Structure 1
Amino acid sequence: MSKQDDHKGQQARRHQSKPGSPRTVGFELPFMTMSMNQILANPVEGETPSAHLKQIGLMTVIGCLTRDNPVITITRLTEITGLTRSAVAEMIGPLVERGLLVEEMGKNAMGRGMARQFLASLHADARAHHG
């Protein structure tokens, strides 16, 4: 076994749950399943298979981010993904059109102006029922 293989095995073991430890699985799996089904079953006119994969990838990132803070901004997504603002905005449009994300206006990071913010539709529904 090479040193590289041994290192990969050690990393995998470190990331596994310990027996008996609670796994924190919230809405991520159902959210991702629903998102992928919506993207693949309801194509927006002119979309390519490549666009579908990009949107599924972005929804995966969004699903992970919403554990800490349900409000998603284009700036936050560009910082995490390394994509340009225009690339992220291009992928978000069809996700809003499908109803997977809900767009709102909120205070920007500086607290002075307004910025586009997005919520996963599940979070938006929960806010509407509790708000």
Structure 2
Amino acid sequence: MAAESSPLRPRPATGFASPAGDYYDGGIDLNRHLIADRTSTFVMRVTGRSMAGAGIDDGDELIVERARSPRDRSVVVVVHDGELVVRRLALTPDGPVLWTEPRPPELPASTHVGGELEVWGVATRSLHRL
């Protein structure tokens, strides 16, 4: 009769021990690594390719912080003339300027000055699906 293993007896491993085992420090907390303020942070899925030149493609998810103040050249989510869009923001003496950063030549860069503009949040990360 073969001896049955019990929870009290360790089972020997078959193969080699992982060299990463010595460096394991618990699980990964993505909130700690990716989000500065959990109460004002949202994830939004992007539709379209108008920001591909900034590394944001169709279907990517943006981490957006509503409490963060935009700086010059920030990627922002804005309500511009009633439409929610992702754009690059330039802070100029004449007022804010928004533009896209297209990679494909068939999509021209657009600049918008004036009109009603509300910065909804600042994009801090773009998550790509591999």
Normalising by structure 1, we get a TM-score of 0.31
> Hey, which of these two has a bigger chunk of strand by percent?
2
Normalising by structure 2, we get a TM-score of 0.31
Work out which structure has the larger RCO, using CA pairs closer than 8 Å and 6 or more positions apart in sequence. 2
> Hey, which of these two has a bigger chunk of helix by percent?
1
Larger radius of gyration: 2
